[in-house]
Amino acid sequence: MTMSNKLNQLPKQFFASLVAKVNKKIATGADVINLGQGNPDQPTPAFIVEATKKALEDPMTHKYSQFRGNQAYKQAAADFYFQQYGIKVDPEKEIAVMGGSKIGLVELPLALLNPGETIVLPDPGYPDYLSGVALADVKQELIPLKPENGYLPNYEEWSPELRKAAKLLYLNYPNNPTGAQATKAFFEDTVRFAKANDLWVVHDFAYGALGNGQKAPVSFLQAEGAKDVGVELYTLSKTYNMAGWRVAFAVGNAEIIEAINLIQDHLFVGIFPALQAAGVAALTSGEGPLQAIATQYANRRQAFVTAAAQIGWQAYPSDGAFYCWMPVPEGMTSEEFSDLLLEKVAVAVAPGVGFGEQGEGFVRVGLTIDEDRLIEAVARIGTLHLFA
């Protein structure tokens, strides 16, 4: 059997090789501290599990789900956006239900672009954006995100050719992998730039609940006019420790929402109604769970960054998502450094280069492990005396 050319064009998963290396190390009996992942370690809150069990017992949830999602879930998403960000959205026209935001990210190039048209992606960035590029046969242009700009793109640097060619731009704040956050002013600039250059914007808000524990991250839709040019993708994966459940939604521009709904009419029959009930339980649960999760990761960050500073390892100063962005010692690549840590002290980190060329010089540390293990990881790394 041969696979289609399209499947053969799919990008190779850089992090598959990291997983293989970690598993090989574990197989030797080593006690590996795995800071290489982006998978929440805590269970889904019990009230969400309970609401789902109840929904599961209702035979109505066993039938084909409604195309384009249940009204109750879309209303809960709309109410959530109003309570969190003060943004009013029409649940029918401005919300699309998705089985995880990865689906939206991968299907949007197919829904909005013709083959050969240009999508602009951040470098460093979440590697799965590239899957959508390959499936839709579109052209990708990478824009560098640099530490000196707070890992925000600099629109001034776009050439006239790029401004003309670009049809779709992906952004992601709080950012994976750097932890950088955006400001409302930056999103306002983005809206102006998108309007001036006839560009759609997709803001991947996967870490929308994970700020510094005090201030919630800003939503793209809080920028005036954002709904004219784009959508935001909101997932419950990280906000409510529901990564395995695959529940998300897109919110914003009605034309893009219609495009998402149309492509999904052909690809899926909605998402399991009991999962939408879980989504309702989560999104209507108020500030408590949001505060708890943001505080937990902020405390872990504080513990890790403080311990790292004590061995002379200074984190890049970011406070969003659940990642620390850590520099690589002089004279090493990010892959050599992460190989060395795994080999010598059984600590796994994600090499920055896996997120794009601009990620070189850094590794990403995931805070999805408790504080004691984070501090132990730093202590092990300290025994290598790599930092001045």
Where on the chain is the footprint of ligand PLP (CB under 6 A)?
38, 100-102, 126, 172, 176, 204, 206, 235, 237, 243, 248
CB of residue 134 to ligand PLP, shortest distance in Å: 17
- Do residues 272 and 108 make contact, with C-beta atoms less than 8 angstroms apart? no
Angle between helix axes 371-382 and 287-310 (nearest 10 degrees) is 20
Q: What is the DSSP string of 180-192?
A: ----HHHHHHHHH
Closest contact distance (angstroms) between CB of 190 and ligand PLP is: 17
Nearer to ligand PLP, 235 or 241 (CB): 235
Q: Rounded to the nearest whole angstrom, what is the least distance from the CB of residue 87 to ligand PLP in the complex? A: 20
Gap between the Cα atoms of 283 and 69, Å rounded:
15
Q: Of the two residues 143 and 206, which places its CB atom closer to ligand PLP in the complex? A: 206
Nearer to ligand PLP, 102 or 227 (CB): 102
The two tokens of residue 311 are 């061995």
Residue with tokens 């309702």: 280
Minimum Å distance from CB 366 to ligand PLP?
A: 10
Task: Report the nearest approach of ligand PLP to the CB of residue 177 (Å).
Answer: 8
Q: Which residue number, 248 or 308, has a Cβ lying nearer to ligand PLP?
A: 248
Radius of gyration of the chain (CA): 21
Nearest alpha carbon to residue 236 among 222, 250, 246: 246
Nearer to ligand PLP, 74 or 102 (CB): 102
Residues in the chain, overall count: 388
Which helix (H) or strand (E) element contains residue 106?
helix 101-112
Q: Which single residue is written with the structure tokens 């998705």? A: 98
Q: Which two tokens stand for residue 27?
A: 């197989």
CA 78 centroid distance within chain? 21
The DSSP secondary-structure symbol of 225 reads: T
Element (H, E) at 34: strand 33-34
CA–CA separation, 121 and 103 (whole Å): 17
* Smallest distance from ligand PLP to CB 232, Å: 12
Q: Residues 222, 187: contact at Cβ < 8 Å?
A: yes
Task: In angstroms, give the least distance from the CB of 261 to ligand PLP.
Answer: 18
Question: Considering the complex, what minimum distance in angstroms separates the CB of residue 201 from ligand PLP?
Answer: 15
* Closer residue to ligand PLP, CB minimum distance, 171 or 381: 171
Please count the other Cβ atoms lying within 10 Å of the Cβ belonging to residue 131. Answer: 16
Give whichever of 171 and 315 is closer to ligand PLP, judged by the CB atom.
171
Is the Cβ of residue 190 or residue 237 nearer to ligand PLP in the bound state? 237
